[in-house]
Chain A
């Protein structure tokens, strides 16, 4: 499942990028850090022998979606709208403790505090998923969900059109 050193380097980059994203005051910077995070996750996908998902991650997520984010941020000029837009100190402490609680819970679980971890090392031959296999799976077992996502995207497209900003004098239906 990958080289440990490579994993640690990538993990550090990913966590750092995520941290920077949630703390940066400028929304454009946050978006750029998120792209960094997505890229590292894409590399993780490659390490996990999932090349198709990795490519989709780069093109769709890092590419299309994040570009859309940046576009909206710049359209609205929203990058500097709020100065210090954090919570109160008390709020921050409470939220931080909650986050810590989640991480600690998982850490305890991984350390086997709740009992032996249910995850055994793979007895199944490791998966070598080429895009063709994924495509066959998608269009055989999951063809109906696939069709439904198509409808979902259509609905989303229509929704966006309906939500479009109107000119003055043009009345909402």
Chain B
């Protein structure tokens, strides 16, 4: 008895929700605002919940099936020559994990969005997009071949574009359509990764003759065992070289979708979208699809590691993955220091955490990557939704202020009202009294993200760090140091954020008038907060080597390492390591106290430094500079323990963070590299194409051919006399000619 047959429904439900909201939702909302919104929002949410139920049924079925993967083929999709792609669902522990995260967190965000989007003029369009996103995301994670994955990949990219640009008509102070621009930027950055994906798929098909996961992995292992070469006509390459190319292209694709160096630039801009979108797409689900891709292709990555094929020096493509991830984690973590937009901080934080996952996947810690993916989905969705609640509160406070402002008068910040930004942390402060629930859950999310024991983030982040420190090798050591620093940054910028948002005095009248959001919004927050606290239980490590050995001998692991034992069944690299084909870097199964101690200590220090040190009493007003930028000296007295360390590092560090944030990321990377170098050249080329190539070349060709056609037509139109008898005569002559021809032809 299993429910694998129900798997198509997981796509059908979101599709129904999409169609409902796309076709009739608008009419519902327009006819009767309050009732229509309920219908529109709740139908979408129920469809998401139904998909979640289907995912749960898949979970139970898998358990009943002894974790054996099941492929449910719906129909033949493409069959051309030996290119055969079925439309089939891969139900294994990995895809079910993703399904549960996508539909579970997705459902909560749907419900939250009913409250958040209340009153928006395009209420039903929003939910149509959300459901469409779920639909494509589920295609991405359920497909049993790279092509289906790619369909979902493109689909979620489209939905991301649509949702970032959801308020496409909003303009900034300069009158630029910033949301539409951000959406376009995201789309273009993703296209770069998509191109790499297409190339990777072409190469995969050329090499293995299939795009289905199982056959590709099996033939890869077989070819590896036989040391076969891959023929490319003019030249041939070893399997290791081909796999290096494929995995590097996958990394490129993942970098686009999961916002890694060098393509991460779109994610901070993507915060222009509504906050539930940031939570669902740009934190919990879509951006993790790059990690899913790498974990799914674990066999290919591990074969590269085992084949000792180097890109340059002793750098293998999995190492490159780890370096890219770690560098992204550190860079984004540093950039987050200098952001004032509450969502931008979280956006860079997401980039940073995705870097952790990518780095973990690159180090062969696939389970840790997935573990962090799941817990991150919980606490980052929580943080985004809470920040949405804060923004919501600020906006309402602002409106209230306006409503009362006319009678009361005398507000001295009227000049600022026109440019009031409800997302600017400098205008917040003191919100802990105004929004107690939001504050509480925000604290939980912050602690989880910072990796404070015993919240979810602690366990998952530590597993990655422990993995890096357990294995020896240059890449592991470097990545370990970078990630530890990134973890420190994480705690610091989160401390800075809660300090600026919730503590101190309100720095703007809007903050003073803010109030708690509706229960519809806070309930999902509370659920996510609980998950953020308990998420660590998913892959609870052993507390000592002895305990692990005992459990291992008894074959009874209890609740410990649940995720690892669960994912073992679909991450083939484990099996291949056991068979001795490849050598997966070993994963620690018990707590590494030194690693955990260091990281926790760093996190606590960073939090304390941020909350009580740097941001102890400032900033007070919207115009005050960030203390980080003015390098205060006085606060060292408060924290004498680390005065020594900090006094040397902080000024340097401030400069570094400032330089990274404003010069490297802002001035160089965003402004110079992307805007000047790429965009301007692109625009210049587009202008050249439009004005010269198109006007003279293409138009000349087109107009020229039109002119020739016209001359020729003028010539032959004289035969069109309108005289029917003439035409008939022509036909008759033709008949005679044909008859004679056929007679001559037959003999």
Are chains A and B touching in the complex at the 8 Å CB cutoff? yes
A interface, CB within 8 angstroms of B: 87, 95, 98, 101-102, 105-106, 108-109, 114-116, 118
Q: Report which of B725, B739, B744, B747 forms a contact with A102, defined as CB distance below 8 A.
A: B739
Q: A115 to B746, Cβ gap below 8 A?
A: yes
**A102 and chain B: residue at smallest CB distance:** B736
Q: A118 to B736, Cβ gap below 8 A?
A: no
Segment of B209-217, B291-299, B509-517, B727-735 in the binding face: B727-735
Q: A105 to B732, Cβ gap below 8 A?
A: no
B173 adjacent to chain A (CB < 8 Å): no
Q: Mark B711-747, 1 if CB is under 8 A from A, else 0.
A: 0000000000000010001001101100110011011
Q: B743 to A105, Cβ gap below 8 A?
A: yes
**B725 and chain A: residue at smallest CB distance:** A87
Q: A114 to B739, Cβ gap below 8 A?
A: no
A31 to B192: give the CA distance in the assembly, Å: 76
Closest Cβ of chain B to A156, distance in Å, is 21
**Chain B stretch 291-344: residues in CB contact (< 8 A) with chain A:** none
State whether A115 and B733 are in contact (beta carbons under 8 Å apart), knowing that A102-B739, A105-B740 are contacts in the complex: no
Q: Report which of B729, B736, B743, B747 forms a contact with A101, defined as CB distance below 8 A.
A: B736
Q: B729 to A114, Cβ gap below 8 A?
A: no
A98 to B733: give the CA distance in the assembly, Å: 7
Q: B729 to A95, Cβ gap below 8 A?
A: yes
Q: B743 to A102, Cβ gap below 8 A?
A: no
Closest Cβ of chain A to B729, distance in Å, is 7
Q: A105 to B729, Cβ gap below 8 A?
A: no
Q: B744 to A114, Cβ gap below 8 A?
A: yes
Q: A114 to B735, Cβ gap below 8 A?
A: no
Closest Cβ of chain A to B415, distance in Å, is 65
Q: B747 to A114, Cβ gap below 8 A?
A: yes
A–B Cβ pairs within 8 angstroms, 17 of them = A95-B729, A98-B732, A98-B733, A98-B736, A101-B736, A102-B736, A102-B739, A105-B736, A105-B739, A105-B740, A105-B743, A108-B743, A109-B743, A114-B743, A114-B747, A115-B746, A116-B747
State whether A114 and B746 are in contact (beta carbons under 8 Å apart), knowing that A102-B739, A105-B739, A105-B740 are contacts in the complex: yes
Please give, as numbers and ranges, the residues of chain A lying within 8 Å of B746 by CB-CB distance. Answer: 114-115, 118
Closest Cβ of chain A to B653, distance in Å, is 81
A87 to B725: give the CA distance in the assembly, Å: 10
A114 to B732: give the CA distance in the assembly, Å: 22
Chain B interface residue count, Cβ-Cβ cutoff 8 angstroms = 12
The prevalent SS among residues of B at the interface is helix
User: A102-B735, A114-B746, A116-B747 given. 17 additional CB < 8 A pairs?
Assistant: A95-B729, A98-B729, A98-B732, A98-B733, A101-B736, A102-B736, A102-B739, A105-B736, A105-B739, A105-B740, A105-B743, A106-B739, A108-B743, A114-B743, A115-B746, A115-B747, A118-B746
A98 to B725: give the CA distance in the assembly, Å: 14
A87 to B726: give the CA distance in the assembly, Å: 12
Please give, as numbers and ranges, the residues of chain B lying within 8 Å of A98 by CB-CB distance. Answer: 729, 732-733, 736
Please give, as numbers and ranges, the residues of chain A lying within 8 Å of B725 by CB-CB distance. Answer: 87
Please give, as numbers and ranges, the residues of chain B lying within 8 Å of A101 by CB-CB distance. Answer: 736
A87 to B728: give the CA distance in the assembly, Å: 14
Please give, as numbers and ranges, the residues of chain A lying within 8 Å of B739 by CB-CB distance. Answer: 102, 105-106
**A94 and chain B: residue at smallest CB distance:** B729
**B744 and chain A: residue at smallest CB distance:** A114
Closest Cβ of chain B to A161, distance in Å, is 25
**A118 and chain B: residue at smallest CB distance:** B746
Closest Cβ of chain A to B673, distance in Å, is 63
Closest Cβ of chain B to A28, distance in Å, is 22
Closest Cβ of chain B to A73, distance in Å, is 19
Please give, as numbers and ranges, the residues of chain A lying within 8 Å of B743 by CB-CB distance. Answer: 105, 108-109, 114
Q: Mark B216-247, 1 if CB is under 8 A from A, else 0.
A: 00000000000000000000000000000000
Please give, as numbers and ranges, the residues of chain A lying within 8 Å of B733 by CB-CB distance. Answer: 98
Please give, as numbers and ranges, the residues of chain B lying within 8 Å of A102 by CB-CB distance. Answer: 735-736, 739
A101 to B729: give the CA distance in the assembly, Å: 14
**A114 and chain B: residue at smallest CB distance:** B743
A95 to B725: give the CA distance in the assembly, Å: 11
A118 to B739: give the CA distance in the assembly, Å: 15
**Chain B stretch 681-707: residues in CB contact (< 8 A) with chain A:** none
Please give, as numbers and ranges, the residues of chain B lying within 8 Å of A109 by CB-CB distance. Answer: 743
Q: Mark B266-292, 1 if CB is under 8 A from A, else 0.
A: 000000000000000000000000000
| 5 A-B pairs with least C-beta separation | A115-B747, A114-B743, A109-B743, A102-B736, A114-B747
A111 to B656: give the CA distance in the assembly, Å: 104
Please give, as numbers and ranges, the residues of chain A lying within 8 Å of B732 by CB-CB distance. Answer: 98
A61 to B209: give the CA distance in the assembly, Å: 64
A35 to B747: give the CA distance in the assembly, Å: 39
Closest Cβ of chain A to B725, distance in Å, is 8
Please give, as numbers and ranges, the residues of chain A lying within 8 Å of B735 by CB-CB distance. Answer: 102
Closest Cβ of chain A to B744, distance in Å, is 6
Closest Cβ of chain B to A9, distance in Å, is 28
**Chain B stretch 147-176: residues in CB contact (< 8 A) with chain A:** none
Please give, as numbers and ranges, the residues of chain A lying within 8 Å of B744 by CB-CB distance. Answer: 114
A98 to B730: give the CA distance in the assembly, Å: 11
A116 to B747: give the CA distance in the assembly, Å: 8
Q: Which of A87, A106, A109 has the most CB of B within 10 A?
A: A109
A115 to B746: give the CA distance in the assembly, Å: 8
A114 to B744: give the CA distance in the assembly, Å: 6
Please give, as numbers and ranges, the residues of chain B lying within 8 Å of A95 by CB-CB distance. Answer: 729
Closest Cβ of chain B to A115, distance in Å, is 3
**Chain B stretch 21-44: residues in CB contact (< 8 A) with chain A:** none
**B745 and chain A: residue at smallest CB distance:** A114
Closest Cβ of chain A to B730, distance in Å, is 11
Closest Cβ of chain B to A27, distance in Å, is 17
Please give, as numbers and ranges, the residues of chain B lying within 8 Å of A116 by CB-CB distance. Answer: 747
A168 to B733: give the CA distance in the assembly, Å: 43
**B739 and chain A: residue at smallest CB distance:** A105
A101 to B725: give the CA distance in the assembly, Å: 19
**A87 and chain B: residue at smallest CB distance:** B725
**B735 and chain A: residue at smallest CB distance:** A102
A105 to B740: give the CA distance in the assembly, Å: 7
